[in-house]
Amino acid sequence: MLKKGIYLILLLAIIAAGVFIFMNFNSTKPNTDSNTKQEQEIEAGGTDKVETPEQLVSKILSLSKEGKIIDFPYQAGVSEIDEINEALGEPTITDESILGNYVTYSNDVTVGYQDNLSFDLRSYDKRLQQIHLSNIKEVQGEPTETKYYKDDTTDQIILIYQVNSTYQLKWILPNPTELNSDPVVHHISIYTKPPVSAEVLTLLKGMTLEEKIGQMIFAGVDGTTFDSHALSLIHDYKVGGIIFNKKNFSSSEQTIQYLNKIRYENTSNKIPLFFGVDQEGGIVAKLPGNLTPIPTNLEIGKVNNIDFSNSIGQLLGKEVKAYGFNMNFAPVLDINSNPNNPVIGNRSFGNSADLVSRLGIATMKGIQSENIIAVVKHFPGHGDTSTDSHLELPRVNKSLEELQQLELLPFQQAITEGADVVMIAHILLPNIDSTNPSSMSKVVISDILRNQLQYDGVVITDDMTMEAIIDNFDIGDASVQSVKAGSDIVMVAHGFENAADIFESLKTAVENGELSEERIDESIIRILQLKEKYQLKDEQIQSFNINTLNEQIKGVLNEYNG
Let me know: does 424 contact 445? Beta carbons within 8 Å.
yes
- CA angle 456/457/460 to nearest 5° reads 120
d(CA 137, CA 159): 10
* HEC readout, 282-331: CCEECCCCCCCCCCCHHHHHHHCCHHHHHHHHHHHHHHHHHCCCCEECCC
Tell which residue, 510, 469, 471, 472, has the closest CA to residue 490: 469
Catalytic pick from 462, 463, 488, 501? 462
Sign of CA dihedral 411, 412, 416, 421: positive
Strand partners, 147: 158
d(CA 140, CA 148): 19
Other beta carbons less than 10 A from residue 221's beta carbon: 25
Is there a catalytic annotation at residue 462?
Answer: yes
Phi, psi (deg, nearest 5) at residue 536 = -65, 140
What are the residue ranges of helices labelled H in 48-153?
Answer: 53-64, 81-88, 133-140
Strand partners, 433: 429
Sign of CA dihedral 211, 377, 363, 275: negative
d(CA 437, CA 444): 9
Tell which residue, 147, 154, 191, has the closest CA to residue 174: 154
Catalytic pick from 186, 390, 477, 521? 390
What are the residue ranges of helices labelled H in 347-458?
Answer: 353-368, 400-405, 408-416, 442
Is there a catalytic annotation at residue 488?
Answer: no
Other beta carbons less than 10 A from residue 115's beta carbon: 12
Which residues, 6 or more positions from 265, have their beta carbon under 8 angstroms from its beta carbon? 226, 230, 231, 234, 235
H or E stretch at 23: helix 2-28
C-alpha to C-alpha distances, 43 to 35, 37, 40, 47, 50, nearest whole angstrom:
12, 10, 5, 10, 11
Let me know: does 259 contact 540? Beta carbons within 8 Å.
no
Catalytic residues: 390, 462
